Amino acid sequence: MTAAMESKGSDGGDLASNRNKAILHALSKRLSFDPKKFPSESIGGYDIMSLLSNILQLSASGVPLQNPEEIMKWVTFASNFPSEADACHATLKGLNEDLTQRAVLLGDGLKPSVADIVVFSALHHFVSQLTASDMQKFSNVMRWMDYIQNKQDFGGELKMIVVNKPVFEPVCSKKADKTDADLTSKKVTQGPKNVDKPEGNIDPKKGAAEASGDTKATEASTRNNKTTEEKKKASEKESAEKEADCSVTLLNIQVGVIRKAWKHPSADSLLVEEIDLGDGNLRQVVSGLAKFCSPDDLLNRRVVLITNVKPGKLRDVMSAGLVLCASDQEHTVVEPLIPPEGAKLGERVSFSGYEGKPEDILNPKKKQLEKITPHLYTDDKGVATYKGTPFLTSAGPCTSSISNASIK
């Protein structure tokens, strides 16, 4: 077994131990292996990635994993879940928005997936400490947590989280009851009168007028309902279009390497780079890095860049991309994000739970980039994220030496 161990205090060790025991118990049934074969005396020392790796070794002859790439994205998300409160809230906010579009993280929801089990266990301690008002802010997360804890057996290692659920009451039920009672009363009162009244006294013109009035009222009601429905659909369409305009999937973020860099001929704050994306061509990009890096610092440096920004000149030099950089709050330290070793040149960065094709060219008039970049930041471990979801490549997440930094 591999032995990548977490270094924690006694409280942190207990939390990690309970988390790992819960994952082990839940996955032993899912993946058909004997949990007793796992060295329980040291289970609290494993980080989530190493724990799952050892579990998969135990279950090598058992049930195969489905959607392994998606599972590993969520395992990375769980492994990188921050410990600092503000960063935790920001990560939960991103997950809460993601869960507006889905009931569970992976699968059909009939039974929790491996991803759901691992992420639930990683989030459990922090979520269980949320106040009632915070739980309301993360209503989709709480709905998902409540479903998983009631659907999956974690061997008693994780305490049940009390989730206050709204009680459904039919609208206007009392009014409806009163109306029914009034109608019944009227029928009883008016019944004998209709029997005693001679048929000859019935006015056919009046009856036809009443029928015509009822028909017009029905038609008016139908038109009003149709208008309301059309307004609702238009509002939903507008909301969906606004959300689509600020989705990270619009960006084509790719891995590249800087082959050449030099100072901008007419701007002291700018550098010009030629970046290799593995397609046989070099892309020229102008970056505001001159105050933070020398051209030699950037030579052969691996970077991630947005390649579908609209090409244009910056101080008379053409630029066809945007190198993504992390910056501290004071903007005194700035550095390009670092893709992991092993990530392929030209590979597109992905975000677990966010699907969609990038725009061919971003539309500057829609200000799509300005809407997305406020949600780009590094967590307390320096992992680059969008709303708490890591920038992922085939070799792992992109990072920076600057933690809790903005990314632009």
Domain membership of residue 202 (yes or no) is no
Domain membership of residue 178 (yes or no) is no
Same domain as 261, residue 143: no
Per-residue model confidence (pLDDT) at position 231: 67
Per-residue model confidence (pLDDT) at position 36: 82
> Phi and psi at residue 201, in whole multiples of 5°?
-85, -5
> Phi and psi at residue 251, in whole multiples of 5°?
-85, 135
**pLDDT per position as a tens digit, 28-70:** 877 777 888 777 777 878 888 888 888 887 775 445 567 788 8
Domain membership of residue 129 (yes or no) is yes
Q: What is the largest CA-CA distance in the chain?
A: 108
What CATH number does residue 281 fall under? 2.40.50.140
For residue 355, the enclosing domain spans: 248-407
Per-residue model confidence (pLDDT) at position 317: 95
Tell me which of 109, 135, 150 is where a domain ends.
150
Domain membership of residue 192 (yes or no) is no
Cα distances (Å, whole numbers) of residue 349 to 105, 144, 189, 305: 20, 27, 75, 10
Per-residue model confidence (pLDDT) at position 234: 61
Domain membership of residue 222 (yes or no) is no
Domain count, the chain: 2
Domain membership of residue 109 (yes or no) is yes
**Alpha-carbon gap, residue 312 to 95, rounded angstroms:** 35
DSSP 194-230: HHHS-GGG--HHHHHHHHHHHHHHHHHHHHHHHHHHH
Per-residue model confidence (pLDDT) at position 8: 44
Q: Among all chains, which residue has been given the structure tokens 């017009």?
A: 216
Q: Is residue 153 left, alpha or beta, with left meaning phi > 0 and alpha meaning psi from -120 to 50? A: beta
Pairing of strands 325-327, 322-323: unpaired
**pLDDT per position as a tens digit, 109-155:** 788 899 999 999 999 999 999 998 889 899 999 999 999 999 999 88
Same domain as 141, residue 283: no
Tell me which of 92, 121, 150 is where a domain ends.
150
Please tell me whether residue 209 adopts helix, strand or coil conformation.
Answer: helix
Per-residue model confidence (pLDDT) at position 110: 82
Question: What global pTM score does this model have?
Answer: 0.47
Per-residue model confidence (pLDDT) at position 192: 47
Same domain as 263, residue 131: no
Same domain as 19, residue 140: yes
What pLDDT tens digit does each residue of the chain (408 aa) get? Answer: 444 444 444 455 678 888 988 898 888 877 777 888 777 777 878 888 888 888 887 775 445 567 788 888 999 999 999 988 889 999 999 999 989 888 899 887 788 899 999 999 999 999 999 998 889 899 999 999 999 999 999 888 899 999 887 655 555 544 445 555 555 555 544 544 444 444 445 455 555 555 565 666 666 666 667 676 776 666 565 555 556 667 899 999 999 999 999 999 999 999 999 999 999 999 999 999 999 999 999 999 999 999 999 999 999 999 999 999 999 989 999 999 999 999 999 999 999 989 889 999 999 898 899 999 999 999 999 999 999 999 999 999 999 999 999 999
Per-residue model confidence (pLDDT) at position 128: 92
Q: Residue 213, class by beta-carbon neighbours within 10 Å (0-12 exposed, 13-18 middle, 19+ buried)? A: exposed
Tell me which of 94, 123, 150 is where a domain ends.
150
Per-residue model confidence (pLDDT) at position 39: 75
Domain membership of residue 241 (yes or no) is no
Domain membership of residue 5 (yes or no) is no
